[in-house]
A and B are shown apart, each in its own frame.
Chain A
Amino acid sequence: MARFLGGIDCGTWTTKAVVIDGDARLVGSLVVRTAADLAGAAERAFDGAIERAGITREECAAIWATGFGRTNVSFADGTRTELDCHARGVHHYVKGAVTIIDIGGQDAKVVRLDAQGRRISHKMNRKCAAGTGSFLEEMALRLGTSIEDFHDLASGFTEELELGSFCTVFTGTEVLTSIRQGKRPADLARASYRSVVKRVLEMDIFEGQVVATGGVIAHHPVIVAMMEEAFGGTIIVPPHPQEMGAFGAALACLHEIESVRKEDAS
């Protein structure tokens, strides 16, 4: 059995690296900003993950990459799309048919799995940033705060406001109009989250088990509560939602190694 395996999710905003052991337990991880150096971000993230796992690179039998920059990770032994890796990661924690909502920096995805964990369908957001982390960052900028402080700002809301969800620029203009009308930044921050929720929920039908992953889910938990309220059910947030793609890449790697071993043995 492989001792340790690595998974790297080279995303548009952040690069996530994980190390798992042969029993698919996550033993180390790190998230770094991707910026313009995709390969460098992958190196830094993976170095940090193995350091946290307390192992050396040599102890890692193989590394698989996923995400927008997956082909830029020169030291990866294999790649899978983030659609596949999020599915694998979620299926590890949540058995049965599920619908996965993944909200990342530049895109939002809805992936449906059958009871065996096979993908039935996937949808990605239309090209506008509406419904993604980029939208929230743009709104934070308009409201004079940072994305890191946005969640805290929204928690101080006193009034429920409505913002559009069609286009980031249109919504940005709405925010400016609201500010001119004396609306409070905290209320507009909350309305921004609601805008993301509206945009995501129009992507597919949500029924049965719904699971949420991605960096936006990890750092902006109010979105989960809003989605639950909107569709009237519970949303499962599995462990390490931001690293779910990297974790899925490591699982894909483990799966491949075990498949080869089974073939060799037969």
Chain B
Amino acid sequence: MKRRVLESTASLKETMVGYYLELGSAAAAKSAPVAWCTSTGPVEILRALGYKVHFPENHSSMLGAARTANDYMTRAHARGYSQDICSYLTADIGAFLAGETPFSAFGLEEVPKPDVLVFNTNQCRDVRDWYEFYGRTWDVPVIGIESMHMIENVTDIQVDAIASQMEDLVPPLEEIAGTRLTSDNFSEIIALSKECVDLWKSCMEMAAHKPSPVTFFDSTIHMGPVVTMRGIPAANEYYRLFLSELQKRVDDGVAAVEGERFRLYWEGMPIWGKLRELSELFAALSTTVVASTYCNSWIFDALDAADPFRSMARASLELFIVRSDTPKESYIERMVREFSVDGIVFHDSRTCPSNSNCRYGMPERLREQLDIPVITIEGDQIDLRCYSSEQTKTSLEGFIEQLEDRGRPGEGVGD
């Protein structure tokens, strides 16, 4: 069975390269201030103030996808950054220490240096530690939002507290940028950002169709603009194109994986250096990974141009990663139902505990509650020392055999 390549991939590359080139040229000409921002951070404030924004997580995923991350991590380890902390952090810092970047493929000599680094610890503490390294290295300010975690229900008190932290970011950001935040400009950026995440959500929902026109592995690539370009019209233009291609596939009954037999949910980080290998493995098993927590993490339903700070705050707190297990399990249960999922794959990412939801009994609970097969594979988002291709292949193939047997009532192995 074969994987089908999406035609919009060429436009995606153009869109992303255009973004990196604009970032690089603005930094080189000093025509705009440069901020580094976490991927679920307050990018809309930065854009409204005219910042060009770089996302180190995006950079690390590129190192992972190119399978060069392991070449760099050791440099960070040698500086005291453990093998057991975020491999995005160690690979990114290692690449900086080596003076190398995948951006060189787009003509950028280096990652544009920041005037300010802005974090939101809704993802994890590592993002702050990561930015503090660069803050110390270049003596630039590191500011951000310290988030609550393990949130059961998002309350107004929590929203107000985060909104207040966001508002506190504005004066220093205005000073660095040398400009003022206007409500019109801010609302316009929020509206663009909301349109972007709505379009992305519509793209992800296409996978509810049978057969699915798109796989998780496609989505990890096509999510580039929603991660890095929220608030920029070009991102929205791209997702209109992507959505139309997916809609056409649905209309024409074209499957992303020919002969789709099984539909899976992926919980946890992608394994960037093994996307192709895993994509081909699942395609060979006529199995589509139709939905994922990860790709859905950039759907910020709460964004509202009429209430910028509070809606951004609410969006950052509604995020899956910052919730307790009860709402997380309810979310996965809904995904399983809406996407007609036959089984769940949990990726236990060695250096990303925040995105490894298999460590406190969730797979076992969901197997019981939803009567659905689950499997946990070990790996890491980019540290391939933590991943065994052979063991993973056997485990996933065995999982699909299990789904096959499950589909034959009354017929066990060899009866």
Chain A min CB distance to B145 (Å): 35
- Which of these binds chain A: B98-106, B215-223, B321-329, B401-409? B401-409
A83-B401, A127-B386 known; A122-B395 Cβ under 8 A: yes
Tell me if A117 and B378 are in contact (CB < 8 A): no
A81-B398, A119-B402 known; A255-B414 Cβ under 8 A: yes
User: How many inter-chain contacts with C-beta < 8 Å in the A-B complex?
Assistant: 79
A199 within 8 A of B: no
A84-B398, A121-B367, A127-B378 known; A91-B412 Cβ under 8 A: yes
Closest to B408 in A: A118
B31 within 8 A of A: no
Contact string against B for A residues 167-191, beta-carbon threshold 8 Å, 1 for contact and 0 otherwise: 0000000000000000000000000
Other A-B pairs, 5, CB within 8 Å; known A116-B412, A117-B413, A255-B413: A91-B414, A116-B411, A119-B398, A127-B391, A248-B414
Contacting residues, chain A, for B374 (C-beta < 8 A): 121
Contacting residues, chain A, for B415 (C-beta < 8 A): 91, 116-117
B244 within 8 A of A: no
| CB-CB contacts below 8 Å: B86-116 with A | none
Q: How far apart are the CA atoms of A251 and B413 in the complex, in Å?
A: 9
Contacting residues, chain B, for A87 (C-beta < 8 A): 413
Tell me if A252 and B414 are in contact (CB < 8 A): yes
A21 within 8 A of B: no
Chain A min CB distance to B2 (Å): 19
Task: Please pick, from A81, A118, A123, A254, the residue contacting B394 in the complex, using a CB distance under 8 A.
Answer: A81
Tell me if A114 and B412 are in contact (CB < 8 A): yes
Contacting residues, chain B, for A80 (C-beta < 8 A): 401
Tell me if A118 and B412 are in contact (CB < 8 A): yes
A124 within 8 A of B: yes
A68 within 8 A of B: yes
B410 within 8 A of A: yes
A68-B390, A121-B373, A121-B374 known; A81-B413 Cβ under 8 A: no
Closest to B395 in A: A124
A82 within 8 A of B: yes
Q: How far apart are the CA atoms of A121 and B403 in the complex, in Å?
A: 10
Tell me if A82 and B410 are in contact (CB < 8 A): no
B residues bordering A, Cβ < 8 Å? 367, 373-376, 378, 386, 388, 390-391, 394-395, 397-399, 401-402, 405-406, 410-415
Q: How far apart are the CA atoms of A24 and B397 in the complex, in Å?
A: 25
Tell me if B398 and A126 are in contact (CB < 8 A): no
Chain A min CB distance to B280 (Å): 14
Tell me if B397 and A119 are in contact (CB < 8 A): no
Chain A min CB distance to B386 (Å): 7
Closest to B405 in A: A118
Closest to A125 in B: B391
Tell me if B388 and A127 are in contact (CB < 8 A): yes
Closest to B406 in A: A118
Q: How far apart are the CA atoms of A118 and B415 in the complex, in Å?
A: 10
Contact string against B for A residues 112-136, beta-carbon threshold 8 Å, 1 for contact and 0 otherwise: 0110111111111011000000000
Q: How far apart are the CA atoms of A91 and B412 in the complex, in Å?
A: 9
A68-B390, A127-B386, A127-B388 known; A118-B397 Cβ under 8 A: no
Closest to A66 in B: B394
A88 within 8 A of B: yes
A261 within 8 A of B: no
| CB-CB contacts below 8 Å: A86-121 with B | 87-88, 91-92, 107, 113-114, 116-121
Chain A min CB distance to B356 (Å): 13
Tell me if A113 and B412 are in contact (CB < 8 A): yes
Tell me if B411 and A124 are in contact (CB < 8 A): no
Q: How far apart are the CA atoms of A80 and B285 in the complex, in Å?
A: 12
Chain A min CB distance to B374 (Å): 7
Q: How far apart are the CA atoms of A252 and B415 in the complex, in Å?
A: 10
Chain A min CB distance to B277 (Å): 14
